């Protein structure tokens, strides 16, 4: 997909498998949702730029819940529900609270769900702190127009390290230096299940109609050592707003070091059988990434190795969809069959 009879992809995201076998994705450039058959031929597309029904100013995210497409337009503050053939079921304007780094998760228990690293008010503006601190990831369910909302889950969020930087002209600015072994959190939802967790623990919380349970797997995290720092200078230099490597490393030395490296750095929910795909954490510049497939008893069902420049985007019971961008920025979505072992 991306080099077939359809137009080239331009910012593909939100890739899902329908239960009937089709693959759908959001094309941010065209502001369209596109549906493909198992052979990779485009069946239909809908949307396009605009503010009318079914159109998008920004196709921010699209999620699939029980073969209903739920698309979010951040610029219009609008959520639209579609059938798989593109018919608009309904749309809803929302007025969510001011969220810090929000992520549209889709729907859960009849509400629209976001994750965010904080809820901003006049009394609680964006953080401006110095030294090491960690925010909290909130999972927020919005009902009605969004004026009524509920925090339904929290977990320790992203780790930060605030520093004060002196610019060449002598001005002092507040900078935020992030590092590759930082702790962070993820959440995912598919309409019937919610999964969330922090990367520094081999544990996820899973919530569905039966309640909330902890999914804990065997911890294979490496012990952290100062030798690990040699792979970080380039990233840290970029994060410290263009300062020299020496200055960036000096900042890094101030950052409290973790006891262990993260347990994972991404998660996907496989709703078909309830299993969870967790991408094991790895240092930059590795050739492949390892995904752990866990059942709800935390048993490791299988390990899947994927080239590092291919991103797993969707999983079905027998197929996996990956997104690849080559050195020229050409996007391709490839579907591979999962072979039972």
Q: Which strands form 300-307's sheet, in the order they lie side by side?
A: 264-269, 276-280, 288-294, 300-307
Structure tokens at 337: 């069959």
What whole-number distance in Å separates Cα of residue 170 and Cα of residue 106?
46
Q: What is the DSSP string of 263-322?
A: SEEEEEE-TTT--EEEEEP--TT-SEEEEEEE-TT--EEEEEEEETTEEEEEE-SSEEEE
What whole-number distance in Å separates Cα of residue 212 and Cα of residue 153?
10
Q: How confident is the model at residue 340 (pLDDT cuts 50, 70, 90)?
A: low
Angle at 31 between CA 116 and CA 61, to 5 degrees: 20
What whole-number distance in Å separates Cα of residue 234 and Cα of residue 248?
9
C-alpha closest to that of 24 among 317, 316, 337 = 316
* Residue of higher predicted confidence among 162 and 241: 162
CB atoms within 10 A of CB 299: 11
CA 72 vs. chain centroid, Å, equals: 15
**Mean pLDDT for the chain overall:** 81
Four-point Cα dihedral 187, 189, 194, 199, nearest 10 = -20
What is the predicted pLDDT for the residue at 245? Answer: 54
Q: Domains along the chain? A: 1-93+309-341 (2.120.10.30), 96-221+255-308 (no CATH)
Q: Where are the alpha helices (DSSP H) in the chain?
A: 233-239, 245-254
Q: How confident is the model at residue 240 (pLDDT cuts 50, 70, 90)?
A: very low
Q: How confident is the model at residue 238 (pLDDT cuts 50, 70, 90)?
A: very low
Q: Are 80 and 91 in contact (CB under 8 A)?
A: yes
Structure tokens at 201: 């623990």
Backbone dihedral angles phi then psi of residue 309, each to the nearest 5 degrees = -90, 10
What is the predicted pLDDT for the residue at 266? Answer: 87
Helix, strand, or coil (residue 109)? coil
What is the predicted pLDDT for the residue at 281? Answer: 86
What whole-number distance in Å separates Cα of residue 241 and Cα of residue 231?
18
Tens-place pLDDT, residues 247-299:
656 666 677 777 778 888 888 766 566 788 899 888 777 899 999 888 878 88
What is the predicted pLDDT for the residue at 221? Answer: 66
Of 12-21, 66-75, 167-176, 305-314, least confident by mean pLDDT is 167-176
CA 252 vs. chain centroid, Å, equals: 26
Residue 243 scores a pLDDT above 60: no
CB atoms within 10 A of CB 219: 10
What whole-number distance in Å separates Cα of residue 295 and Cα of residue 76?
38
What is the predicted pLDDT for the residue at 123? Answer: 58
Tens-place pLDDT, residues 84-139:
999 999 999 887 777 888 899 999 988 899 999 887 665 555 566 677 788 899 99
CA 40 vs. chain centroid, Å, equals: 25
Tens-place pLDDT, residues 173-213:
556 655 556 688 999 988 888 999 998 888 999 888 888 88
Percent with pLDDT over 70 in the chain: 76
Helix (H) or strand (E) holding 172: strand 172-176
HSE of 304, CA atoms in CB hemisphere, 13 A: 23
Angle at 139 between CA 154 and CA 142, to 5 degrees: 140
């Amino acid at each position: 997909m991306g080099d077939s009879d359809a137009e080239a992809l331009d910012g593909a995201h939100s890739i899902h498998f329908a239960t009937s076998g089709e693959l759908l994705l959001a094309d941010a450039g065209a502001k369209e949702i596109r549906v493909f058959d198992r052979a990779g031929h485009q069946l239909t597309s809908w949307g396009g730029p605009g503010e009318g029904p079914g159109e998008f100013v920004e196709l921010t995210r699209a999620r699939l819940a029980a073969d209903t497409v739920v698309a979010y337009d951040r610029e219009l503050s609008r959520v639209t529900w579609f059938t798989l053939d593109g018919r608009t079921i309904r749309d809803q304007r929302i007025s969510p609270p001011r969220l810090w780094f929000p992520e549209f998760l889709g729907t859960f228990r009849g509400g629209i769900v976001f994750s965010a690293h904080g809820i901003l008010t006049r009394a609680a503006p964006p953080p401006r702190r110095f030294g090491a601190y960690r925010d909290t990831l909130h999972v927020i369910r919005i009902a009605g127009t969004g004026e009524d909302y509920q925090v339904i889950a929290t977990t320790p969020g992203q780790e930060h390290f605030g520093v004060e930087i002196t610019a060449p002209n002598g001005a002092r600015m507040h900078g935020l230096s992030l590092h590759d072994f930082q702790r962070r959190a993820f959440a995912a939802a598919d309409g019937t299940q919610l999964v969330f967790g922090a990367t520094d623990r081999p544990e996820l919380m899973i919530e569905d109609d039966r309640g909330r349970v902890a999914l804990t797997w065997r911890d294979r995290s490496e012990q952290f050592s100062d030798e690990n720092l040699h792979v970080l200078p380039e990233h840290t230099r970029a994060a410290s707003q263009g300062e020299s490597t020496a200055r960036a490393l000096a900042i890094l030395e101030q950052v409290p070091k973790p006891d262990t490296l993260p347990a994972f750095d991404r998660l996907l929910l496989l709703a078909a059988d309830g299993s969870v795909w967790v991408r094991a954490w790895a240092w930059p510049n590795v050739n492949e990434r390892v995904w752990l497939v866990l059942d709800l008893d935390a048993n490791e069902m299988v390990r899947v190795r994927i080239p590092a420049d291919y991103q797993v985007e969707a999983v079905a019971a027998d197929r996996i969809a990956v997104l690849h961008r080559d050195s020229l920025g050409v996007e391709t979505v490839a579907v591979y069959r999962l072979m039972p072992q």
